[in-house]
Chains A and B, each alone.
Chain A
Amino acid sequence: MVLLFAGAAGCATTNGGNDARDPAEGFNRNMHAFNEAFDEAIGKPVATGYRNVVPGPVRTWVRNFFANIADLWIGANNLLQGKPLDAVTDWARFGFNTTLGLFGINDIASEMGIEKHDEDFGQTLGRWGAGDGAYLVWPLLGSSTVRDTIGLVPDFYFDPVPQHRPTGVRWAMIVLRATSKRADLLDASRILEEAALDKYVFQRDAYLQRRRSLIHDGNPPRAGRPQPRAEETIEPAPRASLAAPAVSPHALEAAIRLLEEPAQPHPGSVVGSGG
Chain B
Amino acid sequence: MLARLLRPATAVAALAFLGAAQAQMEAPDALVKNVTLEVVAIIQKDIKDGDRRKIIALIEDKVLPHFNFNAMTASAVGRNWDKASPEQRSRLTDEFRTLVVRTYASSLAAYSGQKFDFRPLRAKPTDTDVTVNVRVLQSGAQPVQIDYDMEKRANGWKVWDVRVAGISLVVNYRTEFDNLVREGGVDGLIKALQAKNKSLERPGAAAPAPGVKK
Contact = CB atoms under 8 A, between A and B. Distances in A.
Contacts of B143: 115-116
A58 interface: no
Interface in A206-231: 206, 209-210, 212-214, 218, 220, 225, 227-228
Contacts of B185: none
| Top 8 closest pairs, chain A to chain B, by CB | A213-B166, A237-B155, A247-B70, A187-B110, A64-B140, A67-B140, A118-B142, A63-B140
Interface residues of B, number: 74
B175 interface: yes
B140 to A, nearest CB: 4
A168 interface: no
B3 interface: no
Interface stretch (A144-152, A155-163, A193-201): A193-201
A184 to B, nearest CB: 8
Contact of B107 (A63, A117, A191): A191
Contacts of A259: 75, 78-79, 174
A234 interface: yes
A256 B79 CA distance: 6
Q: From DSSP, what is the main secondary structure of chain A's interface residues?
A: helix
Given A107-B140, A195-B103, A244-B94, A202 B128 contact: no
Contacts of A232: 153-154
B154 A234 contact: yes
Most buried by A among B142, B163, B168: B142
Nearest to A198: B176
Contacts of B90: 244, 246
B154 A110 contact: no
A184 B142 CA distance: 13
Interface of B: 21, 64-65, 68-71, 73-75, 78-79, 81-82, 86, 89-90, 93-94, 97, 99, 102-103, 106-107, 110, 121-123, 127-131, 137, 139-143, 145, 147, 149, 151-155, 160, 163, 165-168, 171-176, 179-180, 182, 192-193, 196, 200, 205-206, 208-209, 211-213
A51 interface: yes
Nearest to A197: B176
Contacts of B151: 228
A270 B176 contact: no
Interface string A232-259: 1111111001101111100110111011
Contacts, number: 179
B89 A246 contact: yes
B209 A186 contact: yes
Contact of A110 (B127, B137, B145, B167): B137
Contacts of A205: 171-172, 174-176
Q: What's the interface size class on A, roughly?
A: 35 or more
Given A218-B145, A218-B166, A256 B81 contact: yes
Given A241-B155, A252-B81, A186 B212 contact: yes
Interface of A: 18-19, 44, 48-49, 51-52, 60, 63-64, 67-68, 107, 110, 115-118, 184, 186-187, 190-191, 194-198, 201-202, 205-206, 209-210, 212-214, 218, 220, 225, 227-228, 232-238, 241-242, 244-248, 251-252, 254-256, 258-260, 268-271, 275
B196 to A, nearest CB: 6
Given A191-B107, A196-B176, A233-B154, A251 B65 contact: no
B80 to A, nearest CB: 10
Given A52-B212, A205-B172, A237 B154 contact: yes
Contact of A228 (B21, B129, B174): B129
Contacts of B110: 187, 191
A36 to B, nearest CB: 14
B171 A51 contact: no
B142 A116 contact: yes
B70 A212 contact: no
Most buried by B among A60, A186, A268: A268
B71 A198 contact: no
Contacts of B78: 255-256, 259
